[in-house]
């Protein structure tokens, strides 16, 4: 796979005002629709153990999200727990196709995140802060 370059995207932070974020796009295979679906603006997050999607995107790919393995999600605040269901999803990033576990949150309010497990850890990922995310590989 040749390098994929994703420019940072401007967003808003309550604390910092305008910020630039490493957002990427990829395709996921929808079992429900029987075709590939473009997923845009996933946060490339090397601090996330697993990739996470909000419920509406999960329903688009899987249908009934509760058929997956239940797993409570927590992050920086371990006291705040969000119910989620783990599914294996077929992904296409550039010309690479692979399966990865995805936690589909029982919430529409969380942003989509591309985490490490069987996702970012498959590739060499470089962050040119404020400019672009470069994904090369696979390893």
CA distance 95 to 123: 13
Burial of 29 (0-12, 13-18, 19+ CB in 10 A): middle
Its pTM stands at 0.94
Tens place of pLDDT for every residue, the chain, 139 residues?
789 999 999 999 999 999 999 999 999 999 999 999 999 999 999 999 999 999 999 999 999 999 999 999 987 777 889 999 999 999 999 999 999 999 999 999 999 999 999 999 999 999 999 999 999 988 7
b (16+ CB within 10 A) / e for 42-71: bbbbeebebbbbbbebbbbbbeebeebeee
> Which domains, from first to last, does the chain contain?
4-133 (2.40.70.10)
Closest alpha carbon to 34 in 63, 64, 69: 63
CA distance 116 to 46: 6
């Amino acid at each position: 796979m040749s390098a994929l370059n994703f420019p940072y995207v401007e967003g808003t932070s309550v604390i910092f005002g305008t910020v630039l974020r490493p957002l990427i796009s990829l395709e996921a295979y929808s079992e429900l629709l029987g075709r590939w679906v473009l997923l845009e603006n996933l946060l490339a997050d090397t601090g996330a153990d697993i990739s996470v999607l909000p419920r509406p995107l999960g329903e688009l790919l899987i249908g009934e999200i509760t058929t997956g393995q239940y797993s409570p999600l927590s992050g920086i605040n371990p006291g705040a727990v969000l119910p989620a269901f783990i599914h294996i999803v077929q992904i296409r990033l550039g010309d690479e196709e692979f399966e990865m576990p995805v936690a589909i949150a029982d919430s529409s309010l969380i942003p989509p995140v591309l985490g490490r497990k069987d996702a970012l850890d498959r590739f060499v990922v470089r962050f040119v802060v404020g400019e672009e995310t470069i994904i090369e590989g696979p390893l």
